[in-house]
Amino acid sequence: MNYKKNDRVVLDIEDMGAEGEGVGKMDGFPLFVKDALIGDRIEARITKLKTRYGYARLEKVLVPSSFRVEPVCRFHRQCGGCQLQALSYEKQLEFKQNKIRNNLVRIGGFSEALVSGCMEPIVGMDERFHYRNKAQVPIGTDKEGNLVAGFYAGRTHNIIANTDCALGVAENREILEVILAYMRENHICAYDETTGNGLVRHVLIRKGFASGELMVCIVINGSRLPEGEKLVERLRRIPGMTSVSYSVNRKNTNVIMGDEIHMLWGSRTIQDRIGGILFSVSPLSFYQVNPVQTKKLYDLAVEYADLKGMETVWDLYCGIGTISLFMAQKAGQVYGVEVVPQAIEDARENARLNGVGNAAFFVGKAEDVLPEKYEREGIRADVIVVDPPRKGCDEKCLDTILKMRPERIVYVSCDSATLARDLKVLCDGGYELMRWRGVDMFGMTVHVESIVLLSKLKSNKLKHTNVELEIDELDLAAAESKATYEEIKDYVLN
């Protein structure tokens, strides 16, 4: 191959990578091109070459794809948030469905026929913008030293100044502009992560879609927020404002929120309602960011669980008890497990708010609590629901699930690669894939939620997969490792 860095090439984009990059080939050599779409003919400049693949920057769209649409946000190429905004929504759904299916086949080792036979149509969104009930916005300065609020450019910590993200609620803009004005007038500096100096790091904003209540929490690198009463006075004028607080985070870390929450004004929580269930949400609560699609997802979880009224259900990684309370309406008894103590406090309060007496919640890691309750106290399970973080379930947790032998397992996942890895373990242990479905919770992005139903085999035959199927080493390694996608890809392909 005679190509080198900075060469310009013309590519026909034939495929899309897992992170939404267009994939074109020059003499059979694949190039990944951010912002290029399947069906485009483009001019690109090579930025990096490796042994078996490379990267290029989109310079010009020569012939646009029939799937290309006009983006709503002018920052869509710079911002790291909306990788698919230039792609038609119907094609976004197809991309996400294929992403889940490919991971089930390549990583999970399930046959194409089985995966296709169990597949149900992906659940799309009616409102594709302004659907997020939560924003975590970094505060910084631009090159001229002016205060800015916005979002990080892709793969960087450079802030793109934008107070009106197309995915967030309308109130975000006014809230952020009030905070920036307050900081300028009171000479309050933004945090500089390179030096560790400065005070204001991030702004957390939450909105209860059903209640209209607003929460603001300022994350600071210090012990107090100077002239906080002046900020409160302005924020209180915004309709719906219910809670104003600050979180102390002095650590040199990418973790946004600190452990300490100090109230400046109002209630510690806001309330929201999903499917008739009332939820109390604190600054540290895990609460799905798209409440409209969450209702659809949790209704599916209850449908997959197929509860008759007497079952014992375990909800692992339960957060503030959202799925637990949905299940409690149809089950005999529900047990929820979550590692964050504040979340369990919220879950118990949510059960109390809704008059739910058949749900109990435990603080701890699922892989610790579940074995203890099963082996020492004999608490069994008819149905187990898991909704783990992106890294998937702990191996010990999967082992205990297999020992408990529930009739059904409902697995909700935000990462179909680790989902597929875990399903392989569960199906090798005596379960079979019955149903699966994608739910688009994150329109305009490459992320997609999945829900899967596994049923216990009625015989000792462990019918898992087509054993001759070749596993995709790249995806498998990425799913099982803490290394970056780049490091794994370079290692496997070289």
Distance CA 51, CA 494 (A): 7
pLDDT at 13 over 50: yes
pLDDT per residue over 275-308, tens digit each?
999 999 999 888 999 999 999 999 999 999 999 9
> Which amino acid is residue 139, in one-letter code?
I
Q: pLDDT value at position 156?
A: 86
How would DSSP label each residue in 301-339?
A: HHHHHT--SS-EEEEES-TTTHHHHHHHTTSSEEEEEES
Distance CA 139, CA 294 (A): 29
pLDDT band for position 479 (50/70/90)?
Answer: very low
- Percent of the chain past pLDDT 70, that is, above it, reads 93
pLDDT band for position 250 (50/70/90)?
Answer: very high
- Residue written as token pair 């990418």: 254
Is residue 159 classed as helix, strand or coil in its secondary structure? strand
Compute the average pLDDT of residues 118-124. Answer: 98
The catalytic residue among 217, 318, 414, 427 is: 414
pLDDT per residue over 354-411, tens digit each?
999 999 999 999 889 988 998 889 899 999 999 999 999 999 999 999 999 999 999 9
Q: pLDDT value at position 157?
A: 86
Strand pairing of 431-439 and 270-274? unpaired
Query: Taking a C-beta distance cutoff of 8 angstroms, is the pair 414, 447 a contact?
Result: yes
**Ordered alpha helix ranges (H), 308-430:** 322-328, 341-353, 366-371, 395-404, 416-428
Say which residue, 334 or 342, is predicted with more confidence. 334
pLDDT at 66 over 70: yes
Distance CA 26, CA 18 (A): 20
335 strand-pairing partners:
314, 360
Other C-beta atoms within 10 Å of 418: how many? 21
318 is catalytic: no
Element (H, E) at 140: strand 134-141
Distance CA 142, CA 129 (A): 27
pLDDT band for position 494 (50/70/90)?
Answer: very low
Note the pTM of the prediction, 2 decimals: 0.89
Distance CA 147, CA 140 (A): 6
Q: What is the mean pLDDT of the chain?
A: 92
pLDDT per residue over 444-474, tens digit each?
999 999 999 999 997 544 444 443 333 333 4
Distance CA 491, CA 494 (A): 5
pLDDT per residue over 159-216, tens digit each?
999 999 999 999 999 999 999 999 999 999 999 999 999 999 999 999 999 999 999 9
- Residue written as token pair 């100090």: 262
